[in-house]
Amino acid sequence: MTGARLLVVDDVAAAYPGAAVPAIASLTFEVRAGERIAVLGPNGGGKSTLFRLITGELALGGGRLDLTAVRCAFVPQTERSRLDFPVTALDVALMGAVSRMPWWRRPGRADRELAREALRRVGLAAVEDAVFGSLSGGQRQRVLVARALVQDAPLLLLDEPFSALDVTGAERLELLLRELAAEGRGILMATHDLDQARAADRVLCLNRVQIAFGEPAAALTREVIERTYGGAIVDLAAGAAALLPTHHHGERR
Ligand SMILES: Nc1ncnc2c1ncn2[C@@H]1O[C@H](COP(=O)(O)OP(=O)(O)O)[C@@H](O)[C@H]1O
Ligand SMILES: [Mg+2]
């Protein structure tokens, strides 16, 4: 890994206000320009908490977190509760421009053009006027990636972007994220899917505490996978480890 460091995390811990024990602890990893890092962990393992920490929504409980990237763009876990909000795909992409503006400015023609360009980039030019909530899960995810592109952030944080997607949607998003990394962006994406983690450049295994960090081939040993998932693993006849399905449909965080 030779790209510039965008995020450096050193022995970090964080607790929710009022909680007796930290939600996550002992995290030490980095994200460099040009790499895709998967954050692999079970439901409740602390993946979303890590993103809240990086975006500053949650206070650091210990250690050091250096966000050297000037900006990071966050693609949250899809929240079905907000899908009835009457905004178009273009409106959502345009929000990426607003986040870069002084409070007194409104988005203008140039910003709209940037937002259109970003929607083209993610293959959604045809639906720019469609209501966001009417799009498929995969399309919504790509609109949110377009918003992140308009923000022009060197570091992209994506919280379980593949969760609600069908195979085609997942392949499109995977390709797009590879392109963005090849352009020199750093990508940190949460997943509970082992195959997604195997396809990343490096993987951070997280189950409340850090279990491992490194290239998938080296980091994803059987022992690491078992500790990451708390032993919820079944053996396949082929000898490969498979994970029991995580039932968390309808979960929001
Ligand atoms: N807003 C919150 N307040 C208190 N505890 C929370 C909050 N959100 C999550 N937690 C707790 O933090 C832990 C990690 O949750 P989370 O980061 O959402 O995991 P993941 O995203 O990996 O499923 C869980 O035990 C969860 O109960
Ligand atoms: Mg989560």
Residue-level pLDDT at 71: 78
Nearest residue by C-alpha to atom 24 in ligand 1: 44
The chain-wide mean pLDDT, for the chain, equals 87
Distance (angstroms) between ligand 2 centre and the Cα of 177 equals 19
Could you give the 3-state DSSP secondary structure of residue 156? Answer: strand
The residue ranges of DSSP E strands in the chain, in sequence order, are 5-14, 24-32, 36-40, 62-67, 72-75, 155-159, 186-191, 202-207, 209-214, 233-235, 241-243
Residue-level pLDDT at 112: 94
Using CA atoms, how far residue 50 sits from 116, 147, 210, in Å, is 31, 21, 11
User: What are the residues whose beta carbons fall under 8 Å from the beta carbon of 37, sequence distance 6 or more?
Assistant: 29, 31, 186, 187, 188, 189, 200, 201, 202, 203, 204
Residue 228 in contact with ligand 1 by CB distance below 6 A: no
Provide mean pLDDT across the span 12-27: 95
In which band, very low, low, confident or very high, does the pLDDT at 1 lie, cut at 50, 70 and 90?
low
Choice between 235 and 100, residue whose per-residue pLDDT is larger: 100
Residue 76 in contact with ligand 1 by CB distance below 6 A: no
**1-70+154-253 belongs to which CATH class?**
alpha beta
Tokens 């085609």 sit on residue: 168
Residue-level pLDDT at 248: 47
Residue-level pLDDT at 239: 44
Residue 41 in contact with ligand 1 by CB distance below 6 A: yes
Could you give the 3-state DSSP secondary structure of residue 178? Answer: helix
The one-character DSSP state at 237 is: T
Residue type for 12, please?
Answer: V
> Does the pLDDT of residue 187 top 80, yes or no?
yes
pLDDT in tens, 76-123: 876 655 677 789 999 999 999 887 788 788 888 999 999 999 999 999
Residue-level pLDDT at 172: 87
- List the chain domain ranges: 1-70+154-253, 80-152
Task: Give the span between the Cα atoms of 147 and 152, in whole angstroms.
Answer: 9
Provide mean pLDDT across the span 6-13: 96
> Does the pLDDT of residue 235 top 50, yes or no?
no
Task: Give the span between the Cα atoms of 80 and 113, in whole angstroms.
Answer: 28
Residue 44 in contact with ligand 1 by CB distance below 6 A: yes
What the block records as the tokens of 188 is 């940190």
Distance (angstroms) between ligand 1 centre and the Cα of 62 equals 18
